Amino acid sequence: MIIVLRKDATDADVEHIVKSVKEWGLSPNVSRGAERTVIGIVGDESVIRAKPLEAFPGVESVMPVLKPYKLAGRDFHPENSTFSVSSGRDGDDPVEIGGNKVVVIAGPCSVESRDLLLEIAATVKESGASMLRGGAFKPRTSPYAFQGLGVEGLRYLAEAREQYGLPIITEIMDVRDVELVAEISDVLQIGARNMQNFNLLKAVGRTSRPVMIKRGLSSTMEELLMSAEYVMSEGNAQVILCERGIRTFEKMTRNTLDVSAVPVLQRESHLPVFVDPSHAVGHWDLVAPTARAAIAAGADGIMVEVHPKPEEALSDGPQALLPQTFADMMKQIRGVAAAIGRTIQE
Ligand code: PEP
Ligand code: MN
């Protein structure tokens, strides 16, 4: 930690800081320059972080040397993290997450019925998706909107996995559902609205399932990384970070896709970084272009919504890709991945 003092800081201010830092069991190192005095503190940054250094008289700014996301960051874990998920069926290859192959997750916004889910699973599998998505517990803005099929939806997801060999991902909204969802789902999704539900993050951190955390609607990348830290601090190191668009002043799209989040998060963290272009843009015709951009930027995976009758979808119809549009997008992203030396996992 480096403390930069104000120009008008007095010797008494410096002494006060030095004395306090020593009392905390840390070593202060004072450098007096012509313009400014700077105090470097060596020792456990977590101890220093808990102290209100900015509140000391004479302090102008405090700069951490290490990142606050110790487990999610690259400081202590320089290599990329990889892990795999499996459908559990004999003969199916596991899906590698965070490696050179880009993972495509596709499926409906919500699980609406058994038949529809199986139909969508068949088409996305046919076009080359490697995982199936579908919400059983839905975080809807209105309490009057379709809230999802709940446990019944989980059962249909499990059936689709068994039939098509696609590992599944579904959202958990409530700490009370963690055990049940973790029993069935291969990857646990924390939705944007729950990115800072710290009790939920800790609860999924105590499971052994990979967790995909979606960036909050108005959350910074540092906050997203700290959410990953919550999961990891409970012992679960299998975390995927997902950029899904953030709120800006722009109204032409549902949210604004922050493509720069991909290289920034990858620079800061060893965790796999995915992009959900569907929720970022909110219109089906913008999904393929932004999916291509995400992969060109280096995303380790994408997640998109697909529905055979978007006009009848119970949630997020406007952003759903028709199966044919999804198939076209898959062809395009194979080319984009190849251009940067990667392949799409199939
Ligand atoms: C979803 O993926 O179904 C979803 C609700 O996304 P988000 O949490 O990003 O809004
Ligand atoms: Mn949706």
How confident is the model over 207-243, as pLDDT tens digits? 999 999 999 999 999 999 999 999 999 999 999 999 9
Question: 3-state SS of the chain: helix, strand, coil percent to 5?
Answer: 40, 20, 40
The fraction of the chain above a pLDDT of 90, given in percent, is 91
- Rounded to the nearest angstrom, the distance between the alpha carbon of 89 and the centre of ligand 1 is 28
Domain of residue 302, residue span: 83-344
139 Cα nearest atom in ligand 1: 5
Q: Are residues 165 and 106 in the same domain?
A: yes
Is residue 73 situated within a structural domain? no
Contact between 262 and 271 under an 8 Å Cβ cutoff? The reply is no
Is residue 68 situated within a structural domain? no
Q: Are residues 240 and 337 in the same domain?
A: yes
- Rounded to the nearest angstrom, the distance between the alpha carbon of 191 and the centre of ligand 1 is 5
Q: Are residues 57 and 198 in the same domain?
A: no
Does residue 34 have a pLDDT over 90? no
**Predicted pLDDT of residue 168:** 98
**Predicted pLDDT of residue 51:** 86
pTM of the model: 0.93
Burial (CB count <10 Å: 0-12, 13-18, 19+), residue 5: buried
Q: Are residues 55 and 105 in the same domain?
A: no
By most ligand atoms within 8 Å of CB, the mutation choice from 131, 279, 306 for ligand 1 is 279
**Predicted pLDDT of residue 1:** 87
Is residue 250 situated within a structural domain? yes
Among the candidates 33, 63, 93, a domain finishes at 63
DSSP class per residue in 140-152: -SSTTS----THH
Among the candidates 63, 94, 116, a domain finishes at 63
276 Cα nearest atom in ligand 1: 9
**What's 6's DSSP letter?**
P
Confidence of residue 48 (pLDDT cuts 50, 70, 90): confident
Q: Are residues 183 and 41 in the same domain?
A: no
**Which residues are found with C-beta within 5 Å of the ion, ligand 2?**
109, 316
* Ligand 1 pocket, residue 192 CB under 6 Å: yes
Q: Are residues 260 and 120 in the same domain?
A: yes
Pair of tokens at residue 248: 């800006």
Does residue 45 have a pLDDT over 80? no
**Predicted pLDDT of residue 329:** 98
Q: Are residues 37 and 98 in the same domain?
A: no
* Ligand 1 pocket, residue 280 CB under 6 Å: no
Provide the domain count of the chain.
Answer: 2
Is residue 262 situated within a structural domain? yes
Query: What pLDDT, in 10s, does the model give residues 74-99?
Result: 988 999 999 999 999 999 999 999 99
Name the 3-class secondary structure at 55. helix
**Between 49 and 149, whose confidence is greater?**
149
Mean pLDDT value of segment 174-202 = 98
**Predicted pLDDT of residue 86:** 97
Q: Are residues 152 and 291 in the same domain?
A: yes
Is residue 216 situated within a structural domain? yes
- What distances in angstroms separate CA 275 from CA 105, 140, 212, one per listed residue? 10, 21, 11
Q: Are residues 116 and 10 in the same domain?
A: no
Q: Are residues 45 and 155 in the same domain?
A: no
Is residue 184 situated within a structural domain? yes
Does residue 273 have a pLDDT over 90? yes
**Between 194 and 27, whose confidence is greater?**
194
Name the 3-class secondary structure at 247. coil
Which one, of 86, 130, 88, lies nearest residue 107 by Cα?
130
Quick one: CA torsion of 239, 233, 203, 82, rounded to 10 degrees?
20
Which one, of 171, 123, 131, lies nearest residue 316 by Cα?
171
CATH number at residue 59: 3.30.70.1140
Is residue 11 situated within a structural domain? yes
CATH number at residue 220: 3.20.20.70
**Predicted pLDDT of residue 50:** 84
* Average pLDDT, rounded, for the chain: 96
Which one, of 102, 105, 55, lies nearest residue 82 by Cα?
102
- Rounded to the nearest angstrom, the distance between the alpha carbon of 109 and the centre of ligand 2 is 4
Confidence of residue 65 (pLDDT cuts 50, 70, 90): confident
**Between 65 and 20, whose confidence is greater?**
20
The fraction of the chain above a pLDDT of 70, given in percent, is 100
Q: Are residues 198 and 337 in the same domain?
A: yes
Mean pLDDT value of segment 243-250 = 98
Is residue 76 situated within a structural domain? no
**Predicted pLDDT of residue 18:** 95
Mean pLDDT value of segment 305-313 = 98
Q: Are residues 48 and 96 in the same domain?
A: no
Among the candidates 11, 31, 63, a domain finishes at 63
